[in-house]
Amino acid sequence: MDLLNYPQPLADLISSLARLPGIGPKTAGRLAFYLLQEPETAEALAQSVLKAKEKIKSCSICSNFTDQDPCAFCRSERRDRKLLCIVEHPRDVAALEKTGEFKGLYHVLQGVLSPLEGIGPEQLTVQQLLQRLEGVEEVIMAMNPTVEGEATAMYLARLLKPLGVKVTRIAHGLPVGGDLEYADEVTIARALEGRRNL
């Protein structure tokens, strides 16, 4: 898309939208035109973006997004404080919460180890994690099954085990309700590796 064909403010809007994940230049153009044709939607969107940016902070304990510090999870009396689940991003907390199965607390790392991008333990919330281990009996590593996710899980396991905490890793394998024949080879191989007794 040649941005020179558009007036400057419109071109700026398109390039800002195109910087969002999952949005290419064509979609960005379509969204920009839509917003211009729907002034109310545009204003509401602009305001909720600004408001979210202003109100949402990182929880000082778990680093999850919150409008109150500490966040609702960390304040709650009903969560099991012996269980701590470590995830990469705030959106992973939402995914785990949807299950309704997990009653413990969360810790958001804000990323994974990646020397290529200059991300080491100092860039993650590892220090905060070490400060909140009192009373925790089990730490669950729920990072994504990528090369970097595995490395981060291993790094934390090495750090936590000597402190006498039980460290576990979530299982990887076939999606529930999925068909074996549609799963890719790597997933099936992982599922075979992680098989269990019946």
Partner 1 sequence: MLIESLRLENFRNYVQEEIRLEPGINILFGENGQGKTNFLEALYFLLTGKSYRVQREQELTHWGENGFRLQGLFQVKQRIIQLESRYYERRKILKINNMPCRKLSDYVGTVNAVYFSPDDLILVKGGPGERRKFLDFHIAQTKPGYVSLLNSYNKVLEQKRALLKSNLSLQSKRSQLAVWNEELIELGRKLIKHRMNLTEELQTVSSYFYQHISEGKEKMEIHYRPLGLKDYEEAISSFPNLLIEHTEQEIERQAVLIGPHRDDLVIYLNQKPARLYASQGQVRSLVLSLKLGEVQLIQAKKEEYPLLLLDDVLSELDRFRRKYLLEFIYSSSIQTLITMTSAEEMPEGKINRYYVKQGQIRREF
Q: Which amino acid is at 184?
A: D
170 near 86, Cβ under 8 Å? no
Binding of partner 1 at residue 147 (CB under 8 A)? yes
Listed ranges 24-32, 51-59, 65-73, 149-157: which one lies at the site for partner 1 (CB under 8 A): 149-157
197 contacts: CB under 8 Å, gap ≥ 6: none
CB of 50 to partner 1, least distance (A): 37
Nearer to partner 1, 40 or 122 (CB): 122
According to CB under 8 A, which one of 184, 195, 196, 198 is a site residue for partner 1?
184
Residue of 139, 142, 143 whose CA lies nearest to 113: 143
Q: Which is nearer to partner 1, 92 or 148 (CB)?
A: 148
Strands (E) across the chain are located at: 57-58, 65-66, 80-87, 104-108, 138-141, 166-169
Distance, in Å, from the CA atom of 172 to the CA atom of 32, rounded to the nearest integer, reads 40
Q: Which two tokens stand for residue 54?
A: 């202003």
Please report how close the Cβ of residue 141 comes to partner 1 at its closest, in angstroms: 12
Nearer to partner 1, 138 or 150 (CB): 150
Residue from 155, 165, 170, 183 that binds partner 1 (CB under 8 A)? Answer: 155
- The residues in 111-140 that bind partner 1, with binding defined as CB under 8 A, are 113-116, 118, 120-122
Phi, psi of 131 (to 5 degrees): -80, -10
The residues that touch partner 1, with contacts defined as CB under 8 A, are 113-116, 118, 120-122, 147-148, 150-152, 154-155, 158, 184-186, 189
